[in-house]
Chain A
Amino acid sequence: EVQLVESGGGLVQPGGSLRLSCAASGFTFNFYWMSWVRQAPGKGLEWVASIKQDGSEKYYVDSVKGRFTISRDNAKNSLYLQMNSLRAEDTALYYCARLEGSSWYWGKWGQGTLVTVSS
């Protein structure tokens, strides 16, 4: 069974840092692009970042460029999101998701980990 399990969320003060992790199982992790997608409380979905199978290509939404870094460890079947200089507007449920197909759609999602940025 394909599973994506996020961890690392929590309460952090503005300007602080947090590292999210996503443990993948049930599929060949290094075959897939992976992404982080977030959802602020009561709001819609927002794509955050994506990373190629070998980590050689990374893309970010403008609002996190220079602050967030997506990475992966294929040996550990894990995806990460290093979040620095956090702002209140980064408060959201962060999902790890697997990109599929040539047209890129998210076919598998984790349950999400909640990040709250507040003093």
Chain B
Amino acid sequence: SYELTQAPSVSVSPGQTASITCSGDKLGDKYACWYQQKPGQSPVVVIYEDSKRPSGIPERFSGSNSGNTATLTISGTQAMDEADYYCQAWDSSTGVFGTGTKVTVL
């Protein structure tokens, strides 16, 4: 079965850039999206179709996807960005989530 791998945690200082990667076999041939989940809340999509931001998502969130890796970048990270982030892709009509990355803003 298809798998997406993420680093368990990333730490970033306020105002700095956080990069969260998601690895999967030929992931660049699929669309990747990213979900943010804060404690006790439902997930929220922050990036879809590799690099598109839904309305209401700040411009500091950006995404890319090439080869075997998709990347979510948070520029000028704010304290409110502290959350779990999950990448997600579809493999033959099967939904696959990444293992999740906890972003801590120190």
User: Chain A residues in contact with chain B, CB under 8 A?
Assistant: 35, 37, 44-47, 50, 59, 61-62, 95, 100-101, 103-107, 109-112
Contact = CB atoms under 8 A, between A and B. Distances in A.
Contact of B35 (A35, A106, A112): A106
Interface residues on B, range: 20 to 34
Given A44-B98, A101-B49, 6 more contacts: A35-B95, A44-B84, A45-B37, A61-B94, A104-B90, A107-B54
Contacts of B45: 105-107
Contact of B88 (A50, A59, A105, A111): A105
25 contacts: A37-B95, A44-B97, A45-B35, A45-B86, A45-B88, A45-B97, A45-B100, A47-B88, A50-B93, A50-B95, A61-B94, A61-B95, A95-B42, A95-B43, A103-B33, A103-B49, A104-B31, A105-B33, A105-B45, A105-B48, A105-B49, A106-B43, A107-B45, A109-B43, A112-B42
